[in-house]
């Protein structure tokens, strides 16, 4: 094989590598040059959430925060993290969540996250909510503990209507280590809140222990 062929192969390898591992100076969405992870054009398309909101069922109320509505830019970043292991997108999303915690002055002693069931964890290789939680904890120097387990396998929420999402997740979360959260101010991390069933039942299980405060923080909020 001549030098020209080797050069051609190297070009192919470099092209593949640039697709799989984009430069830190490229926008994670469109690939244009930026030093901030997302270029100003893509950043301007994000519809940011303000303040908090509540999910209430059966006289139990959960305080929630989301950084943005589930628009095209945020959606692409979440999906790339979950299904393509685009950890750079995950790091950027986690940094926005850190900003939200600081802006809203959310008190916290410990961060936890929505667990994955064994089948999903095996298929994806990681839990995106745990990834986000650990990045946030590292930045804010807060402990991160997985205190919930998925007590039963459930159908994917995206395939269900509102009523069946709530039925699907009832009694699906169990506390694994109660002592970790007693008398603590907790932030519960997840990627998306839609009907609120996931964070509601997880929060309800956490609240079976004497905790000081519980807030939910997600990347995105879908209006239904």
Asked whether the beta carbons of 98 and 172 are under 8 A apart, the reply is no
Count up the domains in the chain and report the number: 2
What is the arithmetic mean of pLDDT over 118-140? 94
Judged against a pLDDT cut of 60, whether residue 6 lies above it is answered with: no
113/210 same-domain check: yes
106/212 same-domain check: yes
33/74 same-domain check: no
Q: What is the pLDDT of residue 168?
A: 73
Judged against a pLDDT cut of 70, whether residue 124 lies above it is answered with: yes
Mean pLDDT of the chain: 88
1/80 same-domain check: no
CATH of the domain at 70: 3.40.50.2020
Reported as a pLDDT band with limits 50, 70 and 90, residue 14 is very low
Model confidence, pTM: 0.86
50/25 same-domain check: no
Question: Among 132-136, 161-165, 209-213, which stretch is predicted with the lowest mean pLDDT?
Answer: 161-165
Question: Among 23-27, 52-56, 87-91, 195-199, which stretch is predicted with the lowest mean pLDDT?
Answer: 23-27
Q: What is the pLDDT of residue 157?
A: 57
49/39 same-domain check: no
59/89 same-domain check: yes
Q: What is the pLDDT of residue 92?
A: 96
165/191 same-domain check: yes
Q: What is the pLDDT of residue 160?
A: 63
178/107 same-domain check: yes
197/126 same-domain check: yes
What is the arithmetic mean of pLDDT over 138-152? 93
Report the percentage of the chain scoring pLDDT > 90. Answer: 69
What is the arithmetic mean of pLDDT over 38-57? 96
Reported as a pLDDT band with limits 50, 70 and 90, residue 22 is low
148/50 same-domain check: yes
4/104 same-domain check: no
Q: Give residue-wise pLDDT tens across range 50-96.
A: 999 999 988 899 999 999 999 999 999 999 999 999 999 999 999 99
Residue 15 domain boundaries: 1-43
């Amino acid at each position: 094989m001549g030098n020209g062929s080797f050069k051609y192969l190297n070009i192919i390898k470099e092209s593949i590598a640039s697709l799989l591992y984009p430069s830190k100076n490229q926008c994670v969405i469109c690939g244009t040059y930026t030093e901030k992870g997302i270029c100003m054009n893509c950043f301007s398309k994000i519809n940011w959430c303000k303040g908090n909101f509540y999910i209430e069922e059966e006289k139990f109320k959960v305080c929630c925060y989301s950084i943005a509505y589930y628009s095209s830019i945020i959606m692409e970043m979440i999906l790339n993290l979950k299904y393509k292991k685009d950890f750079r997108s995950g790091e950027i999303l986690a940094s926005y969540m850190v900003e939200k915690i600081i802006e809203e002055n959310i008190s916290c002693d410990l961060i936890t996250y929505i667990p994955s069931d064994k089948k999903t964890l095996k298929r994806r290789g990681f839990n995106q909510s745990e990834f986000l939680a650990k990045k946030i904890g590292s930045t804010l120097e807060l402990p991160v503990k997985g205190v919930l387990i998925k007590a039963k396998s459930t159908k994917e929420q995206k395939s269900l209507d509102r009523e069946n999402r709530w039925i699907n997740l009832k009694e699906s979360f169990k506390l694994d280590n109660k002592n970790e959260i007693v008398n603590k101010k907790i932030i519960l991390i997840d990627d998306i809140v839609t009907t609120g069933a996931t964070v509601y039942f997880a929060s309800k299980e956490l609240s079976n222990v004497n905790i000081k405060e519980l807030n939910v923080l997600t990347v995105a909020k879908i209006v239904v």
